[in-house]
Amino acid sequence: MSLPPGSTIGIVGGGQLGRMLCLAAHRMGYRTHVYAPDPAPPASGPASLYVCADYANRDALAAFAAECDVITYEFENLPVAALEAMGDKLHPGTRSLAIAQDRAAEKRFIEEHGGTVANWRPVSEPGDLEGLGEEIGFPLVLKSRRLGYDGKGQAWVREESQLPDAWEAIGREPAVAEAAVDFTAEFSILVARRADDALAVWNAPRNIHDGGILRRSEVPAGEGVDEHVERAVEIACALAGALGHVGVMAVEFFATAEGPIVNEIAPRVHNSGHWTIEGSQTSQFEQHLRCIAGLPLGDPALVAPRVTMDNLIGSDVERWEELLAEPGAHLHVYGKKEARPGRKMGHVTRLG
Ligand code: AMP
């Protein structure tokens, strides 16, 4: 069933992804309702309605759900049990969320569905640190199973003697230990899936990270990535199907001599897809809404031979005037009050 204009789309999470979902929704004639625990998050500006409440507050979630026709999320560190109260209105469902928010469950799921991940082991207690050097080799990276993003909750280990400090650094949390992947490039596949299994996939962006944070996405990705894309698209579509995912999903990959290795799944619109707003016929935000509203999928084709997206991180956003003066630069500023180091404050997209 298609959701008619004038309906209300609920968004759990109030960050820049929610903000850009609201902007796309309003253009399509929908009202938006945002739910987040902060007093004035980026998405509350454009939202038609906004409620400030804790993610675990079931009564507040139920009241929010009653005011929405369909609900989505823009953030994955959410309590699955509380969101289950939203039942059929929630797209994607809680299965995508439950798998993606636990690095161990995610890796098992990827391996079960034909994807390859870096050699890894679960680490639940200090005893599990023994033998990691022989099983995985150094360097390796310890990543907390939950609540990690943009390189947070991660510690690199170069030799055996650093293991206890790394375990301490990630807060003695249940974790995974992962081999260092010898990659030639990083890229992602953004796939949109409707409930009837109709799929749309954008050109794969090459992603350049620094300090665990995405700095830049470039399309076309070019040599070193292009030869891995066909296999990576197969994997991403298989994962979306197996999750019964409805909406946009990003799968991040390492390009290696052994083929594409999956780093992680984001069960939502993704930073490496921001270029689609100006760079493709249908943006990831509009496509996500089309999926959850049961509308026909839009064309994901490129509108220019080359598109680049640069994140404005921390004080980079102070260049806003210079970027506005640059012909052909499309500036997005997220409306966050404080430009802390490492914080994503906006992005700029250039075509051609
Ligand atoms: P993540 O938060 O897991 O996406 O990691 C952030 C970034 O850290 C990735 O995009 C890579 O640049 C780097 N990274 C994470 N895991 C590994 C790994 N196993 N081997 C090499 N680089 C990694």
CA of 150 to the centre of ligand 1 (A): 9
Distance from Cα 321 to the centre of ligand 1, integer Å: 33
The response to whether residue 209 sits with its C-beta less than 6 Å from ligand 1 reads yes
Residue closest via CA to ligand 1's atom 17 equals 180
State whether the Cα torsion 23-215-147-200 is positive or negative: positive
Single-letter code of the amino acid located at 97: L
Residue where one domain finishes, among candidates 151, 179, 207: 179
Residues 83 and 127 in one domain: no
Exposure of 225 by Cβ count < 10 A (0-12 exposed, 13-18 middle, 19+ buried)? Answer: buried
* Within-domain flag for 338: yes
Q: Looking at the domain assignment, is residue 306 inside a domain?
A: yes
User: Does the residue 111 lie in any domain?
Assistant: no
Residues 255 and 203 grouped into a single domain: yes
134-190 per-position pLDDT tens digit? 999 999 999 999 976 666 789 999 999 999 999 999 999 999 999 999 999 999 999
Rg (CA), the chain: 20
63 shares its domain with 169: no
| Residue whose CA is at the smallest distance from ligand 1 atom 14 | 212
Q: Considering the domain boundaries, does residue 55 fall inside one?
A: yes
Say whether both 222 and 291 belong to one domain: yes
The ligand 1 atom nearest the CA atom of 149: 2
Out of 107, 186, 210, 263, mutate this one to test ligand 1's pocket (max ligand atoms within 8 Å of CB): namely 263
Domain C-terminal end among 179, 209, 230: 179
Q: Which of 53, 73, 90 is the last residue of a domain?
A: 90
Q: What's the gap in Å between 278 CA and the centre of ligand 1?
A: 28
Residues 136, 149: Cα–Cα separation, whole Å = 23
Does the C-beta of 118 come closer than 6 Å to ligand 1? yes
Report pLDDT digits (tens) over 208-254. Answer: 999 889 999 999 999 999 999 999 999 999 999 999 999 999 999 99
- With respect to residue 97, please indicate whether it lies within any of the assigned structural domains: no
What's the rounded Cα separation, in Å, for the pair 289 and 105?
27
Q: What share of the chain is helix, strand, coil (3-state, %, to 5)?
A: 35, 30, 40
Beta-carbon contacts of 351 under 8 Å, excluding residues fewer than 6 positions away, are 278, 279, 303, 304, 306, 307, 328, 330
Say if ligand 1 is within 6 A of residue 144 CB.
no
Distance from residue 39's CA to the centre of ligand 1 (Å): 32
What tokens appear for 1 in the block?
Answer: 């069933």
Span from the CA of 263 to the centroid of ligand 1 (angstroms): 7
* Among the ranges given (98-107, 143-152, 311-320, 330-339), the one the predictor scored with the smallest mean pLDDT: 143-152
Residue 286, ligand 1, Cβ within 6 A: no
CATH of the domain at 129: 3.30.1490.20
Amino acid at site 346:
G
Asked whether residue 95 is assigned to any structural domain, the reply reads no
CB atoms within 10 A of CB 159: 9
Q: Do both 173 and 190 map to the same domain?
A: no
Whole-Å CA distances, 73 to 21, 80, 123, 178, 331: 10, 11, 29, 28, 24
| Atom number, ligand 1, closest to the C-alpha of residue 140 | 19
Specify the ligand 1 atom closest to the Cα of 181.
Answer: 20
Give per-residue pLDDT as tens, 65-85: 999 999 999 999 999 999 988
> Residue 198 in contact with residue 297, Cβ under 8 Å?
yes
Residue 99 lies in a domain: no
- Residue 234's identity, in one-letter code, is E
- CATH number, position 44: 3.40.50.20
Q: Do 214 and 283 fall into the same domain?
A: yes
What long-range pairs does 227-230 form, CB within 8 A, spacing at least 24?
A: 228/187, 228/253, 228/255, 228/259, 228/260, 229/187, 229/189, 229/204
Q: What percent of the chain has pLDDT over 70?
A: 99
Q: What is the pLDDT of residue 153?
A: 86
Domain residue limits at 251? 185-351
Asked whether residue 174 falls in the same domain as residue 235, the answer is no
Please tell me the total count of domains within the chain: 3
Could you tell me the CATH number of the domain that includes residue 303?
A: 3.30.470.20
Q: Ligand 1, residue 148: give the atom nearest the CA.
A: 2
19 and 140 in one domain? no
Q: How far is the CA of 178 from the centre of ligand 1 (A)?
A: 10
Residue 106 CB–ligand 1 contact under 6 Å: no
One domain for residues 215 and 131: no
Q: Sign of torsion, CA 152 153 157 161? A: positive
Residues 124, 18: Cα–Cα separation, whole Å: 34
For ligand 1, say whether the CB of 215 is within 6 Å of any of its atoms. Answer: no
Nearest to 201 by CA among 54, 73, 299, 325: 299
Helix (H, G, I), strand (E, B) or coil at 235: helix
Regarding the beta carbon of 151 and ligand 1, being less than 6 Å apart is answered yes
The two beta strands, 206-210 and 199-201, are: unpaired
Residue pair 221/187 in contact by the 8 Å Cβ criterion: yes
Helix axes of 103-112 and 226-243: crossing angle, nearest 10 degrees: 100
> Mean of the pLDDT values across residues 339-344?
95
pLDDT confidence of residue 104? 97
Q: Are residues 54 and 126 in the same domain?
A: no
Residue 136 sits in the same domain as residue 205:
no
314: in domain: yes
Residues 326 and 219 in one domain: yes
The number of beta carbons lying within 10 Å of the beta carbon of residue 210 is: 11
Phi, psi of 60 (to 5 degrees): -65, -40
pTM (2 d.p.) = 0.96
In degrees and rounded to multiples of 5, residue 148 shows phi and psi of -100, 140
Q: Please give the pLDDT value at position 150.
A: 62
